[in-house]
Structure 1
Amino acid sequence: MTTYHHILVALVLDQTGRKVLQRAQGLAENFGARLSVLHVVEYIPIESGELLMSAPIDLTQQLEQQSREQLRALCAEFSIAQDQIHTATGPVTPQIQQLAEELQIDLIVLGHQPRHGIAAWFPHTEESVLSRAHCDVLALRVG
């Protein structure tokens, strides 16, 4: 059986993220692995008539700061050390992949909510991470 030494949990800052973090922490404890936590703030497109622009720098920075504060508060509830908490800004999959390679992650854990109808036709973050990751990926059903 494979033993994991360093697990990265990528989560959203809502109740599903809390569930994913709780389950990832249990996995880390079972394997005696270190647990790192990542939240990615995606660029927010703003529609301006016919143009599609990215959010102004100050709005992006404000969102980053709010996300860092929320993530720190959530991780404090789970007694996760501050040096294991990471935030990034940009497209989700490349940010997860980059940090996983940087930290030499053995297992990436993220949430999966089944989609239905037209939404099921579009790529899911978890599928994209799975196809690009250089380590194991575990998608937890949270929906």
Structure 2
Amino acid sequence: MSQYKHVLIAVDLTDESGQVIEKGKAIAERNGANISLIHALEPLGFAYGGDIPMDLTTIQEQLEQHAKAKLADLAAPLNIPQEQQHILVGVPDSEIHRMAKDQGVDLIVVGSHGRHGLSLLLGSTSTGVLHGAKCDVLAVRIQKDK
């Protein structure tokens, strides 16, 4: 088995994120690896096709601040320092790949939702991370009854 040196845990900030973090943390601890957390926000303009006749900057900033606070709450029990908590704005799988490359990550941990078919099994972001990653990817099956 590979010895991982840097584990990147990608979370969606839902209640199930803890399951993904627990698995990533366990692997990092067994390998003596650094841990980084990432959450990628799609720009609001993407969600609405860029056709909104108003400035969404303030709303986007509020979403980023909320995400930052939520990620900090998830990181606190793991003692993950703020400089290893990343909120990025962009296409999630692309931002995760970029972060992995820039930080020398050798394992990305993401959640999967256990539906049918590969893209449904992993979700579109997880599938994108899996297919474009230059390092190992672990998909953690989310348990709804936890």
TM-score (norm 2): 0.85
> Which residue of structure 2 lines up, in the alignment, with residue 124 of structure 1?
124
- 5+ unaligned residues in a row in structure 2: which ranges? none
Residue in 2 that maps onto 1:61: 61
In the alignment, which residue of structure 1 is the partner of 2:23? 23
Kept in 2, the 8 Å contact 1:38–1:85? The answer is yes
Q: What number of residue pairs does the alignment pair up?
A: 139
| Identity across the alignment (%) | 33
Alignment of 1:46 with 2:56, yes or no, is no
Q: CA deviation at 1:58?
A: 1.0
Q: Give the partner amino acid of 2:5.
A: H
Q: Is the 8 A contact 1:46 1:55 kept in 2?
A: no
Other-structure match for 1:140: 140
1:91-102 to 2 correspondences below 5 Å: 91-102=91-102
TM-score (norm 1): 0.87
Mapped contact 1:111–1:141 kept (Cα < 8 A) = yes
- How much does 1:55 deviate? 7.2
Kindly report which structure 2 residues correspond to 1:73-92, keeping only aligned pairs within 5 A, or say none. 73-92=73-92
Counterpart for residue 104 of structure 1: 104
Structure 1: give runs of 5+ residues left out of the alignment: none
SS in structure 1 at match of 2:48: strand
Please identify runs of 4+ aligned residues in structure 1 that moved more than 3 A. 51-55
Query: How far has the Cα of 1:41 moved from its partner?
Result: 1.2
Deviations 1:82-116 (A, max 9, x none): 22111101110000000000001000000000235
CA contact (8 A) 1:126 1:139 kept: yes
After superposition, the Cα gap between the structure-2 partners of 1:55 and 1:137, relative to the gap in structure 1 and judged at 3 Å, is: farther
The structure-2 alpha-carbon separation of the partners of 1:130 and 1:116, relative to structure 1 and needing over 3 Å to count, comes to closer
**Is 1:33 aligned with 2:33?**
yes
Which is strand-richer, 1 or 2? Answer: 1
- Per mean C-alpha deviation after superposition, the further-off stretch among 2-11 and 70-79 is 70-79
